[in-house]
Amino acid sequence: MTQTSIVLPRLGVNLDHIATLRQLRGTQYPSILEAAQLAQAGGAGQITVHLREDRRHIQDNDVKLLRSHLELLLNLEIAATPEMTRFASKVNPDWVCLVPEKRMEVTTEGGLDVKSNFKRLSLVVKALKANGIQVSLFIEPMIQSVRLSAELGADAVELHTGSYCLATQTGPKGTKRIEPALKKIRVAALEARKLGMGAHAGHGFDYLNVRAVAELEDEMAKPLIAEYNIGHAIVCRAALVGMERAVREMVSALIAP
């Protein structure tokens, strides 16, 4: 009997906003590690955290704690600065995702400007890879950014899905922007694949809009996106039903037939 193996996408659960709740009051709780363990029980394949330069949510010690106690893959999002590169090289996460960072933004706005920052990114990618860390670049779903990411030697690109997600969340006004945004994600993911990189996706996903992206396929009917990094929607749902169930529901949303 022949068996076809189904490759499931990896769900990276972003725990930044568990730390946001803790930092709001300066308490010791909620525990990042406990949240990560519950996410694992719910079917997460990875924990993702963004160590911002202003340390507004995740702290250095959270990353160290996760690195030493977590059984799942650890994906550390950082800005491409010397300080963050040194920190990541010491902590040695499985993946680093390089993101643009602005002090005043509420959350990461837009993808990296790979062209303007090519030299700086090149140094950072080299340094991280020399330490055995896999590197992804958080970019807009644009062919030029995908090609430049491949030139930089990135292992993967994480496609910024903000435009698509916003289109799905703004009522009738957004409806006509959904298909073009999805098409951009598909074209960028196919190009990443063609150039030997993984195609990841993240930003703005909820339990409903993630489906259409999970249904994107290549010519062989294989899913195009190998990894999703999702935070806000899962943490919001977890506040109502608990982390384990919130993660399980997102895994189901990703793999529903």
Burial of 235 (0-12, 13-18, 19+ CB in 10 A): buried
Residue range at the interface with ligand PXP (CB under 6 A); choices 123-131, 175-183, 186-194, 200-208: 200-208
The stretches of 154-242 forming alpha helices (DSSP H) are 162-169, 172-194, 210-214, 232-241
Binding mask 216-235 for ligand PXP (x = CB under 6 A): -------------xxxxx--
Report how far residue 48's alpha carbon sits from residue 13's, in angstroms, rounded to the nearest whole number. Answer: 6
Tally: H helices and E strands in the chain: 11, 8
User: Do 137 and 88 form a contact (C-beta atoms < 8 A)?
Assistant: no
Q: Which member of 204, 225, 250, 254 binds ligand PXP (CB under 6 A)? A: 204
Binding mask 178-197 for ligand PXP (x = CB under 6 A): --------------------
Looking only at residues 129 through 168 of this chain, which bind ligand PXP when binding is defined by CB under 6 A? 138, 158
User: Do 76 and 96 form a contact (C-beta atoms < 8 A)?
Assistant: yes
Q: Which member of 152, 205, 223, 227 binds ligand PXP (CB under 6 A)? A: 205
Residue range at the interface with ligand PXP (CB under 6 A); choices 123-131, 141-149, 174-182, 202-210: 202-210
The amino acid occupying position 62 is D
Measured CA to CA in angstroms, residue 239 lies from 21, 34, 35, 243 at distances of 11, 14, 11, 7
Min separation Cβ 51 and ligand PXP, Å: 11
Task: Please count the residues of this chain forming the interface with ligand PXP, following the rule CB under 6 A.
Answer: 19
69 carries an active-site annotation: no
Looking only at residues 86 through 115 of this chain, which bind ligand PXP when binding is defined by CB under 6 A? 97, 99, 107-108
Catalytic residue numbers?
A: 50, 77, 203
Binding site residues, ligand PXP, CB under 6 A: 14, 16, 50, 77, 97, 99, 107-108, 138, 158, 202-205, 229-233
